[in-house]
Amino acid sequence: MIPAFTRTTARRALGRSAAALLLGVSSALGAQQPTTSAPPAAAGPARELSLDEAIRLAARESEELQVARAGIARAAGQLRQARSLSLPQLNSSLSYARTLRSQFSALAGGSGRDTTKGPVLDPVCAPNIPAGATQAQRDAALAQAQSCAAAAGIDFSRVGFGAKNQYTFGLAFSQNVFSGGRNSGQQAAASAGRRAAEVGFTAQRAQLALDVTQAYFDAVLADRLVEIADTTLAQTDELLRQTTLARRVGNTSEFDLLRATVSRDNQRPVVIQRRGDRDIAYLRLKQLLNLPLDEPVELTTPIDQPATISRVIAANATNASNASFVSAADTLTPLPAPDTATADRAPVRQSEENVRAQEGLLRVARADRLPSLAITSNYQRLFFPNNFAPNLSQYSENWTIGGSVGLSLFSGGRVTGQIEVARANLDEARAQLQLSRELAALDTRVALNQLAQAEAAFAASRGTAGQARRAYSIDQIRYREGISTQTDLTQSRLLLEQAEANRALTARDLAVARARLALIRDLPINTAALGAAAQRAGAQAQQPQQQQQQPSTQQQQRAQSAAAGTTGAGQFGSTTP
């Protein structure tokens, strides 16, 4: 029995030595795992990309910001159009006409002789009757004078009737004196629309910065999860090799070998899934930055340094000039106090501008009940040359000045309907403003709550990850010495994997929560967190510019038509040759 006991002890010692050797190799391979990784890409150096560079690149290349800039330019143009209605209008015109036939051509020459009634006497168009002439001589001289044709007739071509060539140069002037509040209402609505467009651009830029931050750290988180999955796969593979060797020397059972094999095989799909998630996260980030999808990228901003992230986000916030940066060494120092006042939120400011715009449009609608007064003047120079080229020193002039008063006497209910529509739009805008204030206050509270929750979760996960790493190290030693079982070692490895993943996930959540709070003043309402009411409010916030654009265009067309009618009437006024 002593020799048998000795052989058994020797086999166990040999198995423990092999297991220790394999665990040492496993630890060495685990230590060689890289701290950061990037998705496999085409050959060539990877582009290093920090969070700050990503936000700036997105702001320069984003199509959403280009659309917002176009909205500001459109609102500025509408404001210019509204202001132009209160300023003098001066237009010029130049026209040319060639007369081929005219009903006035017969008036240009005198009448011919009548030869159908006998012989014609020699005409004496200016008879000189002597003082002593008889009555018969006087009658004969007058008869001869009557046979004379008109000397030249009236040349009507000199005043335009039947002229072969006609040149007309004109100037038309008009000035609105009183419009019943229409012009001031349109200016107020257009000014509010421009300010709302500027607020919308700021909100879009803040939302873009938050989206880039979230996509950036989604990619960093995916990198970390791939690293954890690769490390776990390496550990399970080494455990399988160790168990296989122990089975060969008879130091473990077939059940332990099967369990190690299943554990390693179950880890392979996890690695494949993590790598697929990482590829999708990188593609999403490249799409936001307008980078080629095949370009390799290496992310350099760490996910587990919240202070560094806070500094980058504060620098890109709208009110960054008033922000005092925190130290990068202090990982849990809160951000400088953000502007969380409800009245300063971008959705509230947009709703306030919408109310001002609707008030201006209501004044525009009411102005149709009041008279309008305008002054007009028209000046023309008329040239009627015989040849094609005119002589600039020979011309006739027309110059008129007048005024017009317009008043709607009966519109069939159109004016009343416009006022009712404008008043309903104003009531809706005021209700929308109140709803925006309530949702903005709720959204701010939610953001503060999310930040507090993320900070607490990150602090807890950091301690948990350290404890899990220490427990796994101890369990490795216990398993190598034969005190612990493979089940205990596998359980410790799973706890370590979960703790590392939780730490990476809470670091990402903390980074996004800090970014949201730093940008909260200019961010739109988080409709995903607040539900359907916020979604309806966001959809209604897009209507103000469309509502004010249509009445403004109608009023401008009406003013232009009135000015054109007054100008045409003035052309037939007094003439000064």
| pLDDT tens-digit series, residues 343-352 | 889 999 999 9
Domain ranges of the chain: 12-30+51-85+179-361+412-556, 89-102+157-178+372-406
Q: Between the CA of residue 385 and those of 159, 397, 427, 442, what are the distances in Å?
A: 11, 15, 65, 79
Q: Name the fold adopted by 89-102+157-178+372-406.
A: Outer membrane efflux proteins (OEP) (2.20.200)
Nearest in space to 53 (alpha carbons), one of 320, 299, 224? 299
| pLDDT tens-digit series, residues 67-84 | 999 999 999 999 999 999
pLDDT of 100 reads 86
pLDDT of 223 reads 92
Q: Would the CATH topology of 12-30+51-85+179-361+412-556 be identical to that of 89-102+157-178+372-406?
A: no
Nearest in space to 214 (alpha carbons), one of 532, 559, 508? 508
Give every residue of the chain whose pLDDT is below 50, as ranges. 1-42, 109-116, 118-123, 150-152, 318-333, 335, 544-545, 547-549, 551-552, 555-556, 558-577
What is the residue-wise DSSP string for 265-320? HHHHHHHHHHHHHHHHHHHHHHHHHT--TTS-EEE-S-SS-HHHHHHHHHHHSTTG
Q: Which CATH superfamily is domain 12-30+51-85+179-361+412-556 in?
A: Outer membrane efflux proteins (OEP) (1.20.1600.10)
pLDDT of 316 reads 66
H helices within 32-170, ranges in order? 51-61, 63-84, 135-146
The answer to pTM > 0.75 is: no
